Chain A
Amino acid sequence: MLDDFLLRALLAGLCLALAAGPLGAFVVWRRMAYLGETLANAGLLGVALGLFLHLPMTLTIPAFTVLLAMLLLLVERRGLLPLDTVLGILAHGSLALGLVILAFMEQVRIDLMSYLFGDVLAISRADLLLAAGTTALVAVVTGLFWRPLLSMTVHADLAAVEGVRVERMRLVLTLLLALVIAVGMRLVGILLVVSLLVIPAGAARRLARTPEAMAAMAAAIGCAAIAAGLAGSVLWDLPAGPAVVVAAAGLFAATLALAPRAR
């Protein structure tokens, strides 16, 4: 029953959920959800360019999400336009450009749906390796810089006066986000990947009294959603990506019903 591809999907999914827990907490605290969407859309550009240049997508997707993240950090500083406008331009610009490039390559036939909503069957050994590596990286970096990252998130000025390199920490966080998005979009797709960051962290908010607890609970809830979603996919032949997100949303609804009011 437990086929190879399913095992790969499960392992990659658990890796993703573990990384998305703490990172998702930062996404919620710092209101970076739309940034995540933008980076995910840049992933489609990575898909298109990978096909166009005959490069492995396992590399081109994270390359493009990271590239766009860097670009955003540069643009953000000299802003006449509000950040969400800039993000809107880049998000839809890169999604549209990706679609145009894909249409342009007549000899290539791809299943667009599998990129928009994820494809468990497509998880290769290399993807799994990237997922594991990303998780390890997220664990090490957030572990090392937890206090400065959190301090900057609570109050950037206070953190800066106390010696935190705020700009550098913001870069670290954005790059980690770009990597996790790149990993997640193979599994649950461009349109759903941000939900894996936002929903578990949102569900953990009501249960947690400290930021550390919230990050840990988000990781646990994410893992549960991955397991439940993949099980549903196997048992009832549901599409895996959407099933995972539905499971996460169900867990979120459960915390609304069960947990006491926010503290």
Chain B
Amino acid sequence: MRRYKLTNPPIGKHELGYPVDPVLVSGRGLVLRRGGRDVLDRVDVEVRAGEIVTLIGPNGAGKTSLVRLLLGLLRPDGGEVRRRPDLRIGYTPQSLHLEPSLPLTVRRFLTLAMAADRQHLLALLARVGLDDVLDRPMRGLSGGELHRVMLARALLREPDLLVLDEPLSGVDINGQAELYALIGKIREETGAGVLIISHDLHLVMARTDRVLCLDGHICCAGRPLEVARDPVFQRLFGQRLADVVALYRHGEDPHHHDGHHHHAAIEAGEPQECSTTSS
């Protein structure tokens, strides 16, 4: 099997001749309070090099808050966030509100991250499935194009960790499959870790190594099939969706079987009972 083992970090640009910490970012016991309410209650999470982790949960579950904590955009009221030193993060926010008074071409938007020549940018755009839109104004892009451009900007800096907040909104079904294939490919080529937030589960699940189900705290966690079978997940998302996930996983990917023994992180986030769903 061609899968790499996570205990041996994949060979990539970080192969420096000494062991590199495979944990890119982790949060331990994260608490976030807003308006007297615990938005997040003692959440543990980690993302390792080379794995795709998907964060799911109903609206208001604290998904975006958790990601903002991990990115350092918010400070937790409890617990701690650790990022590997010099970690390069590529981030696509859920939405991009652009100020109409600020004239911005796609090229200028991309090069806000770092300087790059035209050829490089064109290659990057082609990779995320866009033609030459470099000289188009950002405000003329469709929702799907905008998300692809954001992904291109995230990739421009050759990140160690990709954090994608609802990356597929506005992208049509074919485009979604394409982008997921691309994210999988990037992970394999560069060994980057990927953290995806989604409540649009179908394709996500098919491409994910590990799922974290969040509802203020981690309700269940594990490989997609395990999570789909979990009664807590079924309660939160419905049996039908669980069936969908099982369908996607069935007969797909050769890797989840050998995933059993190399993944210490799963044990840390083993499914636990979901207390908020009690009446």
Give A residues with C-beta under 8 Å from B. 28-30, 147, 150-151, 153-155, 157-162, 202, 205, 208-211, 213-214, 262-263
**CA separation between A147 and B72, bound complex, in Å?**
21
Most buried by A among B89, B112, B163: B112
B:21-53 near A, CB below 8 Å: none
- Which residue of chain A has the shortest Cβ distance to B102 in the bound complex? A29
Q: Could you name 26 residue pairs across A and B whose Cβ atoms are closer than 8 Å?
A: A28-B101, A29-B99, A147-B112, A151-B112, A154-B98, A154-B99, A155-B93, A157-B68, A157-B73, A158-B93, A158-B112, A158-B113, A158-B153, A161-B71, A161-B91, A161-B163, A205-B101, A205-B103, A209-B105, A209-B137, A211-B103, A211-B104, A214-B102, A263-B137, A263-B139, A263-B140
- Is B157 close to A, CB under 8 A? yes
Please report the C-alpha to C-alpha distance between residue A234 and residue B147 in the assembled complex, in whole angstroms. Answer: 55
Give the residues in chain A near B157, CB-CB below 8 Å: 162
Interface size of B in residues (CB-CB distance below 8 Å):
26
In the complex with contacts A158-B93, A161-B89, A208-B103 CB distance below 8 A: yes
Whole-angstrom CA separation of A158 from B94 in the bound complex? 11
B248 touches A (CB below 8 Å): no
List A contacts of B98 (CB < 8 A).
Answer: 154
B49-75 CB contacts (< 8 Å) to partner A: 68, 71-73
A142–chain B nearest beta-carbon distance, Å: 15
Kindly list chain B residues whose C-beta atoms are within 8 Å of the C-beta of A262: 100
B199 in contact (CB, < 8 A): no
| Interface presence of B127 (CB below 8 A) | no
Query: Does B237 touch A at the CB level, under 8 Å?
Result: no
Residues of A within 8 A of B180 (CB): none
Q: How many A-B contacts at CB < 8 Å in the complex?
A: 67
B109 touches A154 (CB 8 A): yes
Whole-angstrom distance between the Cβ of A215 and the nearest chain B Cβ: 11
* B102 & A153 in contact (Cβ 8 Å cutoff): yes
A202 to B103, CA, bound (A): 12
B interface residue numbers (CB < 8 A to A): 68, 71-73, 89, 91, 93, 96, 98-105, 108-109, 112-113, 137, 139-140, 153, 157, 163
Contact among A158, A159, A211 with B108 in the assembled complex (CB-CB below 8 Å): A211
Contacting residues, chain B, for A208 (C-beta < 8 A): 103
User: Which chain B positions have C-beta within 8 A of A150?
Assistant: 112
Complex CA–CA separation, A210 to B265 (angstroms)? 46
- 20 A-B pairs besides A154-B109, A162-B112, A213-B103 with CB distance below 8 A are A30-B99, A150-B112, A151-B113, A154-B99, A157-B68, A157-B91, A158-B93, A158-B113, A158-B153, A159-B112, A160-B72, A160-B73, A161-B71, A162-B89, A209-B137, A210-B104, A210-B105, A211-B102, A211-B104, A263-B139
**B101 lies within 8 A of A29 (CB):** yes
* Contact of B99 with A153 in the complex, beta carbons under 8 Å: yes
Question: Residues of B contacting A28 with CB < 8 Å?
Answer: 101
Nearest opposing residue in chain B for A208, CB measure: B103
Residues on A with beta carbons closer than 8 Å to the beta carbon of B153:
158
Candidates A157, A159, A210; contact of B103 at CB < 8 Å:
A210
5 A-B pairs closest in CB distance: A151-B112, A161-B91, A29-B102, A28-B101, A208-B103
**Distance, CA A215 to CA B98, complexed state (A):** 18
Closest-CB distance, A207 to chain B (whole angstroms)? 9
Q: Contacts of B109 on A, CB cut-off 8 Å?
A: 154
| From B93, B104, B139, contact of A157 by CB (8 A) | B93
Residue with the highest number of chain B CB atoms closer than 10 Å, among A160, A162, A202, A213 = A162
Query: For residue A209, which residues in chain B have a CB less than 8 angstroms away from its CB?
Result: 103, 105, 137
Give chain B residues whose Cβ lies under 8 Å from the Cβ of A205.
101, 103
Q: Are A263 and B93 in contact (CB under 8 A)?
A: no
Q: Within the assembled complex, what's the spacing in Å between the Cα atoms of A28 and B96?
A: 18
CB distance from A260 to the nearest CB of B (A): 13
B105 CB contacts on chain A under 8 angstroms:
209-210
Closest to B108 in A: A210
Nearest-Cβ distance from residue B205 to partner chain A, whole angstroms = 26
**Bound complex: CA of A154 vs CA of B91, how far in Å?**
14
Q: Are A154 and B102 touching (Cβ within 8 A)?
A: yes
Q: Are the C-beta atoms of A154 and B101 separated by less than 8 Å?
A: no
Q: Which residue of A lies closest to B92 (CB)?
A: A158
Q: Is the CB of B73 within 8 A of A161?
A: yes
Q: Knowing A157-B91, A158-B153, A162-B157 touch, does A214 contact B113 (C-beta < 8 A)?
A: no
Residues of B within 8 A of A162 (CB): 89, 91, 112-113, 157
